Structure 1
Amino acid sequence: MPPRSEEPRRDATGSRRGSSRGADPRSGEPGIGGISDARAYTPRGRTIREGGGAARAATSGGAEPRRTPRSSRSGDPFRPALQVLDGGRTGATRTGRRETAAGGGRVGVVRTVPRPSRARPDDEDDLPPPRRRPGPRAPRRPDRAAARRPSRKPRRPPKLADPRRRLRLGTLLTLALFATIGIRLVYLQTVDTPAYADGGLAKRLAVVDLPAPRGAIYDRTGAPLAHSVEARYVFADPTRVKDRVATARLLSPLLGLPASELAEKMKRRTLPGGGESQFQYLARGVEIDKAKQIVALDLAGIGVHRDERREVPGGDLAANLIGFTSQDMVGLEGLEAKYDDLLQGQSGRKRYEVGQGDLAAPIPGGYSETTEPKPGSSLELTIDRDLQFQVQRILSAQMAQTRGSVGAAVVLDVATGEVLAQASNPTYNAATPEESKSTAREDAATSFVVDPGSIHKAITYGAALQEGVITPETEMPIANSITKGDVTFRDTHPANGRRMSIPGMLAYSSNVGTIEIADRLGKDRLIDYQKRFGLGQPTGEGMPGEASGRLLPAAEWSGSSYGSVPIGHSVDATPLQMAAAYAAIANDGRYVQPHLIKDVIGPDGKRTPGPNPVTRSVLSPANAAALRTMLEAVTTVEGATGRAAAVSGYRVAGKTGTGLRYVDGRQQPGEVGSFIGMAPAEKPRYVVAVFVWSPGGEGGAVAAPAFREMMGFTLRHYRVPPSATSRSPKFEVFPR
């Protein structure tokens, strides 16, 4: 395309186009050019002479094309602007209009190439004709120069952007954007709502623990031995305490703690992970009235919250059995520890929305969730509170005669195996366990392991009766001593070789006679009956840490063992194990496992009986009755070892014992004095066992009198009729 000239286009006569001087004087029309010619431009401003068609025709007819003058090819610089004013339509010059020169000469008509149609942009024949101005039309003058130009296809102007397509695209993009935003909003409101809500919820939630009341421990009558009561704990936020010294002085008389101790607790402390501690216990288990007074002081940084306190009404009553808990209500010793999971229950929790700052109060209608606490179950023991108190009192009074001694006492119901009382001395106050020594908190009945001594002889005689080695009428000459291995065993009541009856051997606690009967029985059968009577294994009474004792296996017997084992040495047993063995003799030869748990009481009050006790037959009823009768000689024969254990008005069968105590395999100084008996002997109801170890050897003088008082109170407490109509038989120690 030739460059557009900046000079105004001239016609053939040399005059400028667009001048009003070029008007046709005959028609009065303005000349072609000027503003009128501006309308004949296309958007690009290029024009083609109207006579181009004739020129093409001439060219096709063989005429020499003539080059168009430069002035005719140059465009008017004002025409594009005028075309815009005309609405962008082509055809500012109309087909058929004539240009006149200044001298009246005519030139070829110029027309603008119309813009291609949108429907058919490649078909130039379909282009719309240029718009013509109304008025008379001048005759056409053939353009010889155009005729001489070679015919060529006019260039198609470049396509312009379609505003409708841009509008559609913009609309689609806008709709897509709004659709995306809408989908995201719906997703946030439906799917992600819980996540976003929970994310902010944690910052405005208050959490309050709801402690579950710990189950109580009752005696067999329903009297509480240990139970929980509602209390309060007092805490401090050291970061908010303004004056800890002044605050401590105000709290000291209410909490019963030194002000210096409270001030020390309120010191600011840095946590291991960073930051300052905002919680510190000042006191636990505070009475509610005291807590109210503390709240009324309105001290900065001091708070009060619900707590629980364990109360032991009896103080030291059955303390060695019950045990105690920590301040957090966790069982640490005794039954509190053994049945901690059952007693503890499950704590609850309340979570709710609160406001911030001065509006730190529950938000009405806000989030709130409460998990109700599940109270713990309670235990009803077989212990009789009144009997327990008397047994503890008697044991303590009798042991006051000794120094540095350890004692244990057990009362069993013969028919059921229930433990009615189980006392230890020394003891402690379970309400303030921190003030006691660990040795005072042990349950001696289940942890006190001793050589039972002569009380074991009842097992040897019972086995011999059951195996037919002896009968109640058996008599034997008894020497003053007997040697087994490298040990010589002697009697405290020498027989000097005289014949002695079985009741006499028991009454005088003959070591020689017992060893001779055991030789006839044999070690294997003796060990078998030891196990049947419950030795060598824990009773499973219910106390934690119960000792099992130990039996000497047959393979480990030495020469002296044939003399020591039958009389209760080289045997380890607890007071409870020996009491259960005597209860089997009292129960017509049937062993019943001793136990402490009578019922388990659920939070709803439903009672579940404790596990059924293990039972087994050890002796026949006849042999058990015969052995009971022979044991009565211990409390009735003149000069017998157990005369101090006789209970006025009742027949008593039992046996004294003198044994040794071992701790970690080492023999301790002194002796263990014991007495185990049953009453009424004709039909026993109860068995009482008393063991006292004393470094000075005074236990034997303490055990029998203590038994007498305990058994006497037990029989009267349960209103057992005296044995007035049934007297003990007369025994001959040395028959003629």
Structure 2
Amino acid sequence: MPPRSEEPRRDATGSRRGSSRGAEPREPGVGGISDARAYTPRGRTIREGGAAARTGGGAEQRRTPRSSRSGDPFRPALQVLDGGRAGATRAGRRETAPGGRAGVVRTVSARPVREPFDDEDEAPPPRRRPGPRRPARPTAGRRPVRKPRRPPKLADPRRRLRLGTMLVLTLFATIGIRLVFLQTVTTPAYADGGLGTRLAVVELPAPRGAIYDRTGAPLAHSVEARYVFADPTVVKDRFAAAKLLSPLLGVPASELADRMKPRTLPGTTTPLQFVYLARGVEIPQAKQIMALDLAGIGVHRDEKREVPGGDLAANLLGFVSQDMHGLEGLEAKYDDLLEGQAGKKRYEVGQGDLAAPIPGGYSQTTPARPGGSLELTIDRDVQFMTQRILSDQMAQTRASVGAAVVVDVPTGEVLAQASYPGYDAAAPDKVNSPSDREDAATSFIVDPGSIHKAITFGAALQEGVITPETTFPVPNTITKGDTVFRDTHPAEGRTMSIPGMFAFSSNVGTIEIADKLGPDRLIDYQKRFGLGQPTGEGMPGEAPGRLLPVDRWSDSSHGSVPIGHSVDATPLQMAAAYNAIANDGTYVQPHLIRSVITPDGKKTAAAAPATHPVLSPANAAALRRIMEGVTSIDGPDGRATGLAAAVPGYRVAGKTGTGLRYDNGKLQPGEVGSFIGMAPAEKPRYVVAVFVWSPGGEGGTVAAPAFREIMGYTLRHYRVPPSATDRSPKFEVFPR
């Protein structure tokens, strides 16, 4: 800080501070350098300087006002003491009051100092002393005094309050609108989006429909079971687990251990976490498995197809897969009807370990729809006996195939349809060959042989070519083309009756009748009797057979076709043809389906079978009478071919046959022996057909006895009264 002058300052009146009142006044305008300059520790504004001049020297010793202290305390201010000499007035200097040499104290700042003021803190304007009015100061050359800048006002709290209120209201309005939008417009979308994370889905299995016989007894139906599965990633000791499970599942422990072996899904690196150990496990065994509490081993609800009869009608019924889909037989043909539609239950569950349904929460149930059921025309008792008799007779042959069919004459309903060999439908994989599971009655293609002669004789009767009383000489052989046809019972050229020709199965006599009938009419009657096309019985994969068109006949065909060669037919087709003869000449389509049963138990009868006339009732009756000689002629002229088929107490009309078997167009070794007959012959109720193929040719000795036993049981089972006379009409084989 610059040193002060040692001379006391003068006050506004020009007197020295601290001097006596009567001190001698100095001359105006005279003073030292100490009087001209004085530094103060704080600068003073011009206003303060003027105030000090008015109030006297004592005011200079006062502290600067608060507003002054807000300036820069380190900026020196130059205090000029002017003695007020005449002519020394400068621009911007105040003139000395008249009279006296009092100097004017001015504080000149080295740089203008701007002080911030509040309106409230601004110093009041200085009061003027009373006295003469000073003349106006000249303006020329004077720097205008700059008015101090007014400091900015502080923020208005009311404006801030209004602004904040508006922001808060806007925020709440936005949130409210969004909530209304979520609750009204997009509620379903958001609800559905979150629903899946808290829903549990349980499948409601639908049982597969049953298959019943005509009495309502189940032939195949589904029962509740369990399946056992494993998670290989969780199983701790697969060998120990397999050892415990093996006796309960009936599966070798080594096989179970291999199934539980850790492995990855094909084509990925993801470990396999599910593998079946057994399907269709009985519930008691499943409970024992659950009691073992093995890590990685689980049990779940399953369905099992149960076949009460084992192999009973198995070749007809077929079987299903482990997933309850029909694979063969009627199970496959009517899979869409039998298979049920599983349901689902979706409901909200809690989180955590409870995972229990939320009371009053979302719940939707799609009920399961059980499959429909089938009522067959099969009678399980007749089916059982037919299978047993056929298998017993087939035991006398080797490497053979057999078929037997029982048909109700008026309706065409198939009461039994047996195949040999058979199999257990509950274990379809335990067969020697897949062909063992086929239904022989609809898939076994044979040359029918002599049983076809009934069609030739029936057509001749209907066309008037012959009558029951017709006779003509029959030579031992006849040549057609390059083939010589001969009889097994030579007539030696003698005259034979029509019943005699039929009873002794004369090839020569039949060919001569066919020559009179002509090939065109013979083919027409073959079609009328149902040959050359599937019967539509209801079995899948039924073979249609084959007829040789006339334009493809060779010279030898005129001899082979009438006696049942160069003709392909199934046992069922031939049984249906004989049923037309038994049914007074009207063909009735054979069928297996009697009615369809809905899940609620309502029965709907199957469509009525197709029918059409083939023979007149009179000619059909005449043909049946001719056919009775096959089982009754036994005298000096010889024995008929079908005496072994006679049923005690009943008149039987039928025919034996010896044919050939072709497999994929290749002739197989051996012969096909057959017998088809009806009883009681005077008014037939049932037709039974038996076909047996054996490489050794033993079929002919098996078919007739099997027919006798099957027909006898069927007649007794349905309590058909015996014939009024058990004796057939008397026939002359060689009329004189």
Instruction: State TM-score, norm by structure 2.
Output: 0.82
Deviation of the 1:667 alpha carbon: 0.3
Contact conserved, 2:218 with 2:308, CA < 8 A, in 1?
yes
The answer for the alignment partner of 1:380 in structure 2 is: 375
**2:126, 2:293 → 1: CA distance?**
110
Contact conserved, 2:649 with 2:726, CA < 8 A, in 1?
no
State whether structure 2 residue 258 is matched by structure 1 residue 264.
Answer: yes
The answer for the alignment partner of 2:176 in structure 1 is: 182
- In structure 2, do the counterparts of structure 1 residues 636 and 10 end up closer, same or farther at CA, with 3 Å as the change threshold? closer
The answer for the alignment partner of 2:118 in structure 1 is: 83
**1:357, 1:242 → 2: CA distance?**
26
1:58-97 CA distances to partner (integer Å, 9 max, x unpaired)? xxxxxxxx999997998653x42x31654xxxxx477xx5
1:145-169 CA distances to partner (integer Å, 9 max, x unpaired)? 4599999xx9999998985777655
How do 1:244-393 residues align onto structure 2 when only pairs under 5 Å count? 244-272=238-266, 273-355=268-350, 358-393=353-388
The answer for the alignment partner of 2:454 in structure 1 is: 458
The answer for the alignment partner of 1:660 in structure 2 is: 660
- In structure 2, do the counterparts of structure 1 residues 147 and 701 end up closer, same or farther at CA, with 3 Å as the change threshold? same
State whether structure 2 residue 627 is matched by structure 1 residue 596.
Answer: no
Deviation of the 1:184 alpha carbon: 3.2
Contact conserved, 1:387 with 1:714, CA < 8 A, in 2?
yes
The answer for the alignment partner of 1:124 in structure 2 is: none
State whether structure 2 residue 715 is matched by structure 1 residue 721.
Answer: no
**2:131, 2:309 → 1: CA distance?**
139
Deviation of the 1:730 alpha carbon: 1.4
The answer for the alignment partner of 1:703 in structure 2 is: 703
Deviation of the 1:10 alpha carbon: 6.7
Gaps of 5+ in 2: 1-41, 69-90, 95-106
- In structure 2, do the counterparts of structure 1 residues 180 and 337 end up closer, same or farther at CA, with 3 Å as the change threshold? same
State whether structure 2 residue 558 is matched by structure 1 residue 562.
Answer: yes
Q: 2:570 aligns with which of 540, 561, 574?
A: 574
**2:523, 2:716 → 1: CA distance?**
38
**1:143, 1:270 → 2: CA distance?**
112
Q: 1:223 aligns with which of 192, 199, 217?
A: 217
Contact conserved, 1:98 with 1:139, CA < 8 A, in 2?
no
Give the secondary-structure state (helix, strand or coil) at the position aligned to 2:118: helix
Letter in 1 for 2:537: E
State whether structure 2 residue 503 is matched by structure 1 residue 507.
Answer: yes
Give the secondary-structure state (helix, strand or coil) at the position aligned to 1:228: strand
- In structure 2, do the counterparts of structure 1 residues 557 and 173 end up closer, same or farther at CA, with 3 Å as the change threshold? farther
Q: Taking every aligned residue pair, what percent have the same amino acid on both sides?
A: 74
**1:567, 1:709 → 2: CA distance?**
27
The answer for the alignment partner of 2:463 in structure 1 is: 467
Give the greater-gyration-radius structure (CA): 2
**2:93, 2:597 → 1: CA distance?**
124
Q: 1:23 aligns with which of 35, 38, 54?
A: 54
**2:222, 2:45 → 1: CA distance?**
122
Deviation of the 1:610 alpha carbon: 1.3
Deviation of the 1:687 alpha carbon: 0.3
Letter in 1 for 2:623: L
**1:305, 1:74 → 2: CA distance?**
101
- In structure 2, do the counterparts of structure 1 residues 311 and 328 end up closer, same or farther at CA, with 3 Å as the change threshold? same
Letter in 2 for 1:252: S
Contact conserved, 1:548 with 1:573, CA < 8 A, in 2?
yes
**1:735, 1:296 → 2: CA distance?**
86
State whether structure 2 residue 212 is matched by structure 1 residue 212.
Answer: no
The answer for the alignment partner of 2:395 in structure 1 is: 400
Aligned residue pairs, count: 657
State whether structure 2 residue 473 is matched by structure 1 residue 477.
Answer: yes
Deviation of the 1:335 alpha carbon: 0.9
- In terms of mean alpha carbon deviation, does 315-324 or 192-201 score higher? 192-201
State whether structure 2 residue 641 is matched by structure 1 residue 641.
Answer: yes
- In structure 2, do the counterparts of structure 1 residues 35 and 721 end up closer, same or farther at CA, with 3 Å as the change threshold? same
Contact conserved, 2:503 with 2:630, CA < 8 A, in 1?
yes
**1:486, 1:641 → 2: CA distance?**
28
Contact conserved, 1:36 with 1:93, CA < 8 A, in 2?
no
Deviation of the 1:681 alpha carbon: 0.6
- In structure 2, do the counterparts of structure 1 residues 167 and 401 end up closer, same or farther at CA, with 3 Å as the change threshold? same
State whether structure 2 residue 694 is matched by structure 1 residue 694.
Answer: yes
The answer for the alignment partner of 2:490 in structure 1 is: 494
**1:359, 1:544 → 2: CA distance?**
51
Deviation of the 1:655 alpha carbon: 0.9
Deviation of the 1:552 alpha carbon: 0.9
The answer for the alignment partner of 1:551 in structure 2 is: 547
1:613-632 CA distances to partner (integer Å, 9 max, x unpaired)? 11111111111111111111
Give the secondary-structure state (helix, strand or coil) at the position aligned to 2:404: strand
Give the secondary-structure state (helix, strand or coil) at the position aligned to 2:234: coil
Give the secondary-structure state (helix, strand or coil) at the position aligned to 2:630: helix
**2:260, 2:134 → 1: CA distance?**
118
- In terms of mean alpha carbon deviation, does 720-729 or 313-322 score higher? 720-729
Give the secondary-structure state (helix, strand or coil) at the position aligned to 1:359: coil
Letter in 2 for 1:593: Q
How do 1:52-67 residues align onto structure 2 when only pairs under 5 Å count? none
Letter in 2 for 1:479: P
- In structure 2, do the counterparts of structure 1 residues 584 and 10 end up closer, same or farther at CA, with 3 Å as the change threshold? closer
Contact conserved, 2:238 with 2:261, CA < 8 A, in 1?
yes
Give the secondary-structure state (helix, strand or coil) at the position aligned to 1:676: strand
Letter in 2 for 1:619: L
Deviation of the 1:98 alpha carbon: 5.7
Give the secondary-structure state (helix, strand or coil) at the position aligned to 1:235: strand
Contact conserved, 2:118 with 2:151, CA < 8 A, in 1?
no
Give the secondary-structure state (helix, strand or coil) at the position aligned to 1:325: coil
Deviation of the 1:441 alpha carbon: 0.7
- In structure 2, do the counterparts of structure 1 residues 432 and 604 end up closer, same or farther at CA, with 3 Å as the change threshold? same
**1:458, 1:18 → 2: CA distance?**
158
Deviation of the 1:727 alpha carbon: 4.1
**1:143, 1:206 → 2: CA distance?**
103
Instruction: State TM-score, norm by structure 1.
Output: 0.82
**1:155, 1:527 → 2: CA distance?**
136
**1:98, 1:159 → 2: CA distance?**
25
**1:143, 1:280 → 2: CA distance?**
118
Contact conserved, 1:504 with 1:731, CA < 8 A, in 2?
yes
Deviation of the 1:469 alpha carbon: 1.8
- In terms of mean alpha carbon deviation, does 381-390 or 223-232 score higher? 223-232
Letter in 2 for 1:336: E
**1:586, 1:73 → 2: CA distance?**
149
**1:469, 1:142 → 2: CA distance?**
173
**1:352, 1:68 → 2: CA distance?**
101
1:245-280 CA distances to partner (integer Å, 9 max, x unpaired)? 222222222222222222222222323444333322
Contact conserved, 1:479 with 1:494, CA < 8 A, in 2?
yes
Contact conserved, 1:631 with 1:655, CA < 8 A, in 2?
yes
Letter in 1 for 2:461: L
Deviation of the 1:380 alpha carbon: 1.1
Give the secondary-structure state (helix, strand or coil) at the position aligned to 1:284: strand
The answer for the alignment partner of 2:617 in structure 1 is: 621
Contact conserved, 2:233 with 2:272, CA < 8 A, in 1?
yes
Contact conserved, 1:233 with 1:281, CA < 8 A, in 2?
yes
**1:298, 1:690 → 2: CA distance?**
56
**1:716, 1:172 → 2: CA distance?**
104
